[in-house]
């Protein structure tokens, strides 16, 4: 029994991947675009933010530096609404609800690298409403 508990603790301390489909381009772009939106929303892209972007993309999808660089430059030029990205990400997280908090932690980490702006908080709250719709207050009728 104690060994099973130790094994569970060891596994829970390992970084978990949020997404099962490492080869699915749609989720790569959605996560990359959302992270880039957080990086660029304050009009100050820092090297720490870019490094964290690379780290997240490497951990989640096992992409190499060249692939990550290409993806970064691709999402830089996108003009799409990040809310669509949130919906795409959530569609994957619904299949793994225990990873929803891990996703939110990644957003918090990205936002907190250089101080949190109100615009970044707005993105976080938007993500929270999409990922955790049950937390939305019910309107009294």
- List the domain boundaries for the chain: 21-129
Count the residues in the chain. Answer: 141
Q: Give how far Cα 66 sits from Cα of 58, 63, 73, 112, Å.
A: 11, 8, 11, 26
49 vs 34: CA distance, rounded Å: 13
How does pLDDT run along the chain (141 residues), one tens digit per residue? 445 544 444 444 444 444 444 447 888 999 999 999 999 998 888 999 999 999 999 998 888 999 999 999 999 999 888 899 999 999 988 887 778 988 999 999 999 998 888 999 999 999 999 999 887 776 666
Please give the biggest Cα pair distance in the chain.
54
Please give the model's pTM, rounded to 2 decimal places: 0.78
97 vs 79: CA distance, rounded Å: 29
CATH architecture of 21-129: Orthogonal Bundle (1.10)
């Amino acid at each position: 029994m104690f060994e099973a508990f130790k094994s569970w603790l060891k596994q829970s301390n390992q970084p978990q991947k949020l997404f099962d489909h490492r080869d699915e381009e749609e989720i790569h772009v959605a996560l990359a675009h959302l992270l880039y939106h957080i990086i660029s929303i304050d009009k100050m892209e820092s090297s720490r933010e870019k490094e964290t972007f690379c780290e997240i993309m490497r951990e989640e999808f096992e992409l190499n530096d060249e692939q990550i660089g290409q993806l970064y430059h691709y999402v830089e030029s996108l003009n799409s609404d990040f809310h669509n990205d949130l919906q795409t990400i959530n569609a994957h997280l619904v299949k793994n609800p225990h990873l929803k908090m891990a996703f939110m932690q990644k957003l918090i980490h990205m936002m907190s690298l250089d101080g949190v702006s109100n615009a970044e908080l707005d993105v976080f709250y938007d993500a929270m409403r999409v990922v955790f719709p049950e937390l939305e207050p019910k309107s009294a009728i």
